[in-house]
């Protein structure tokens, strides 16, 4: 009876373990469209990304996001086998130095697909990572999954010799490297970081928007032309005064001088009168408006304006909290990219070269710690450079007591004989160099 119960329990435990360790049922879950309030602007679409990449502020934001990831990322590696540690270190550094920037195109597109290339090392016979062929455009890629696991992707755009489009190319297994940005909203295609910058970008670039308004304003009001009042009629040569006035102003535009005869009418008014050119009304508000849109683009991309702003030479002074917030988001990108690198390429390589039971640990160090170390080397502010260093406090000088008086007090305190006092006197004199 007890044996039957134990057997039934083992069977139930086995079925439960199998069910609990199975792939997640929601692995392919994609959130439905969120509530979108009515707005005069249309929704962001992936086809907007190429146009947004022409924006200088967008490019600055992408470089600010990718720069610390590519230049400051450091890793911790552990394994019982030192050969595996060296292999993982060498392969990860090679991936980060040659191919991470290609995978990070997912930041602006939401995802990136690359074909992984490998090489056989002639010295040790190991199969090693070479580089990512990352020139595949996001519009030409389609991901395929099975039970919540990526199995590969297809690439459109290959052409036959006659110019007709061929069937899509299948990239699967270890050849396929697929990286997703903000995968919590879509596990296979993510969300582009540029989506947050869409509204200020659209407001600045649309007809009648900030950029167009600035261009029209300064074209119209940057400099008001000169005005020349002239009499009606013609001069002695038969040349119309209007034509003569225009020619005179054109010479003035090229830097020429102007001499006008001071003829006056019967009322005493000049028949010819020149009104100098003047600037139009100030365009400060328009400039500030475009600057605000530029800041909103960076904010939409997750970059606090305090990170970009520089006052004096201490560009990061007083910006600790915004920098910590920025680097926490940077850390998430590093961890996700490292996870994809491990799952899709590095772990299969380790098991191919060292056996299916080969094990290791690889994780990224905190970027904020690296920033805190580097920030100690930042230049001082202008005020700090001008302030003189505080004076060094000198030790207080104590008045030296009379030597004979000190010896008398010592003799009285310890009840010493005269010869003992002489010994103390000689000993202290030799010790003090006197």
Mean pLDDT of 292-307: 88
pLDDT at 46 over 80: yes
200 or 157, greater pLDDT: 200
- Among 57-61, 359-363, 415-419, name the one with the lowest average pLDDT: 415-419
404 or 148, greater pLDDT: 148
**pLDDT on residue 342:** 96
d(CA 263, CA 233): 14
Residue pLDDT, tens place only, 199-209 = 999 988 888 78
Do 143 and 212 contact (CB within 8 A), yes or no? Answer: no
- Among 210-214, 239-243, 421-425, name the one with the lowest average pLDDT: 421-425
**pLDDT on residue 382:** 47
19 or 394, greater pLDDT: 19
Mean pLDDT of 293-319: 72
**pLDDT on residue 405:** 66
163 or 88, greater pLDDT: 88
**pLDDT on residue 305:** 78
Do 418 and 410 contact (CB within 8 A), yes or no? Answer: no
Residue pLDDT, tens place only, 341-367 = 999 999 999 999 999 999 999 999 988
**pLDDT on residue 234:** 79
375 or 53, greater pLDDT: 53
pTM of the shown model: 0.68
- If one counts every other C-beta atom within 10 angstroms of the C-beta of residue 386, the result is 8
Q: Which residues of 188-211 are buried (b: 16+ CB within 10 A; e: fewer)?
A: bbbbbbbbbbbbbbbbbbeeebbb
Mean pLDDT of 310-338: 75
d(CA 326, CA 299): 10
d(CA 135, CA 5): 61
- If one counts every other C-beta atom within 10 angstroms of the C-beta of residue 272, the result is 18
Please calculate the CA angle 123-100-85 and round it to the nearest 5 degrees: 45
3-state SS string over the chain?
CHHHHHHHHHHHHHHHHHHHCCCCCCCCCCCCCCCCCCCCCCCCCHHHHHHHCCCHHHHHHHHHHHHHHHHHCCEEEECCCHHHHHHHHHHHHHHHHHCHHHHCCHHHHCEEEEEEEEEECCCCCCEEEEEEECCCCHHHEEEEEECCEEEEEEECCCECCCCCECCCEEEEHHHEEEEECCCCCCCCCCCCHHHHHHHHHHHHHCCCCHHHHHHHHHHHHCCECCEEECCCCECCCCCEHHHHHHHHHHHHHCCCCCCCCCCECCCCCECCEEECCECCCCCHHHHHHHHHHHHHHHHHCCCCHHHHCCCCCCCCCCCHHHHHHHHHHHHHHHHHHHHHHHHHHHHHHHHHHHCCCCCCEEEECCHHHHHHHHHCCCCCCHHHHHCCCCCCCCCCCCCCCCHHHHHHHHHHHHCCCHHHHHHHHHHHHHHCCC
Instruction: Look at the block and give the residue holding tokens 């990831």.
Output: 69
Phi, psi of 173 (to 5 degrees): 65, -140
370 or 293, greater pLDDT: 293
User: Residue 431: how many CA atoms within 13 Å on its side-chain side?
Assistant: 6
**pLDDT on residue 146:** 85
Give me 237's structure tokens: 């040569």
Mean pLDDT of 101-115: 95
- Among 152-161, 385-394, 416-425, name the one with the lowest average pLDDT: 385-394
Give me 216's structure tokens: 């029209």
**pLDDT on residue 115:** 94
Do 98 and 76 contact (CB within 8 A), yes or no? Answer: no
- Among 209-218, 257-266, 369-378, name the one with the lowest average pLDDT: 369-378
For the chain, percent of residues with pLDDT exceeding 70:
64
Residue pLDDT, tens place only, 364-411 = 998 887 766 655 544 444 444 555 555 554 444 444 445 566 666 655
């Amino acid at each position: 009876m007890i044996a039957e119960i134990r057997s039934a329990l083992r069977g139930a435990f086995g079925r439960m373990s199998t069910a609990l360790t199975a792939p997640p049922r929601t692995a392919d879950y994609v959130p439905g469209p969120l509530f979108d309030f009515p707005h005069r602007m249309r929704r962001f679409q992936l086809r907007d990304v190429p146009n947004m990449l022409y924006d200088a502020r967008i490019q600055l934001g992408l470089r600010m996001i990718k720069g610390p990831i590519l230049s400051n990322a450091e890793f911790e590696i552990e394994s019982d086998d030192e050969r595996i540690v060296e292999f993982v270190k060498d392969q990860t550094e090679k991936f980060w130095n040659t191919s991470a920037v290609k995978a990070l195109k997912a930041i602006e597109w939401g995802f990136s697909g690359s074909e992984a290339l490998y090489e056989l090392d002639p010295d040790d016979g190991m199969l090693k990572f070479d580089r990512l062929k990352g020139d595949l455009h996001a519009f030409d890629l389609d991901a395929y999954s099975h039970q919540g696991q990526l199995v590969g992707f297809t690439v459109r755009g290959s052409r036959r010799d006659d110019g007709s489009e061929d069937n899509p190319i299948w990239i699967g297994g270890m050849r396929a490297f697929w990286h997703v940005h903000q995968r919590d909203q879509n596990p296979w295609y993510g969300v582009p970081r540029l989506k947050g910058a869409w509204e200020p970008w659209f407001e600045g670039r649309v007809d009648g928007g900030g950029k167009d308004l600035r261009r029209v304003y300064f074209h119209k009001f940057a400099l008001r032309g000169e005005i020349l009042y002239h009499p009606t009629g013609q001069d002695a040569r038969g040349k119309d005064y209007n034509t003569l006035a225009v020619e005179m102003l054109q010479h003035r535009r090229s830097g020429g001088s102007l001499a006008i005869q001071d003829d006056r009418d019967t009322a005493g008014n000049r028949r010819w009168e020149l009104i100098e050119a003047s600037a139009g009304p100030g365009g400060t508000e328009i400039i500030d408006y475009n600057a605000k849109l530029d800041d909103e683009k960076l904010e939409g991309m997750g970059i606090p304006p305090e990170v970009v702003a520089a006052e004096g030479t201490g560009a990061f002074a007083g910006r600790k909290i915004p920098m910590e917030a920025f680097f926490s988001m940077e850390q998430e990108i590093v961890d996700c990219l490292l996870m994809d690198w491990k799952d899709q390429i590095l772990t299969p390589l380790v098991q191919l070269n060292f056996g299916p039971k080969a094990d290791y640990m690889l994780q990224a160090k905190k970027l904020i710690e690296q920033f805190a170390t580097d920030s100690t080397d930042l230049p001082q502010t202008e005020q700090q450079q001008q302030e003189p260093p505080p004076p060094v406090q000198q030790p207080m000088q104590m008045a030296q007591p009379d030597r004979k008086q000190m010896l008398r007090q010592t003799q009285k305190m310890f009840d010493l004989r005269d010869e003992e006092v002489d010994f103390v006197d000689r000993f202290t004199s030799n010790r003090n160099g006197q």
